[in-house]
Amino acid sequence: MDISFTLNGRETAVDVPPATLLVELLRERLGLTGTHVGCDTSQCGACVVHVDGRSVKSCTMLAVSADGCAVTTVEGLSPDGRTLHPMQQAFRDCHGLQCGFCTPGMMMSATDFAASHPAPTEAEVRHWLEGNICRCTGYQNIVKSVIAGAAAMHQGTEA
């Protein structure tokens, strides 16, 4: 099936079998391996990307369902591919990762959340991250990173 969508700001057209998952299209056809597959059973959130601005699990969405949509992956977070996005910088500064496997999904989930929560509480962050599992960090520094990243994303936009 022919589909076209905006991927990290760029128009993309591909022909995919309907049984292709969005994450398979991203990783295997388009080479964007920043999006991870942790569980493949819709539980872990390693595969989270944005579709039309909302965080979704790309292992549980058909590629054909993205037809006409705007998709952003972790590769598209940084505006120029060099400077880190404020959320990426916050994860780096706050040691929000150990092995890094969950990190792309964590950051995609977190940037969706932070867009509407400039100053979240710890409880709000923990509640939001329920769909993102980390086997390493114990979450403490992830929560710290999200709070710092949210503040940085909104810096200068305060009235």
Ligand X SMILES: Cc1cc2nc3c(=O)[nH]c(=O)nc-3n(C[C@H](O)[C@H](O)[C@H](O)COP(=O)(O)OP(=O)(O)OC[C@H]3O[C@@H](n4cnc5c(N)ncnc54)[C@H](O)[C@@H]3O)c2cc1C
From candidates 55, 109, 137, 141, binder to ligand FES by CB under 6 A: 137
- Residue 18 engages ligand X in binding (rule: CB under 6 A): no
Closest to other proteins by CB, 41 vs 157, is 41
Instruction: Annotate each residue in 38-77 with x if it binds ligand FES (CB under 6 A) or - if it does not, as one string.
Output: xxx-xxxxxx---------x-x------------------
From candidates 43, 78, 89, 98, binder to ligand X by CB under 6 A: 43
∠85-34-89 over CA atoms, to 5°? 20
Residues in contact with other proteins, counted by CB under 8 A, come to a total of 27
Q: Are 149 and 87 in contact (CB under 8 A)?
A: yes
Closest to other proteins by CB, 14 vs 84, is 14
Half-sphere exposure of 44 (CA within 13 A, CB side): 16
CA distance 132 to 149: 17
Binding window for other proteins (CB under 8 A); candidates: 18-26, 73-81, 83-91, 142-150: 18-26
Q: How far is CA 149 from the centre of its chain?
A: 14
Residue 57: other Cβ atoms inside 10 A = 24
Phi and psi dihedrals of 6, rounded to 5?
-95, 120
Cβ at position 21, least distance to ligand X in Å: 14
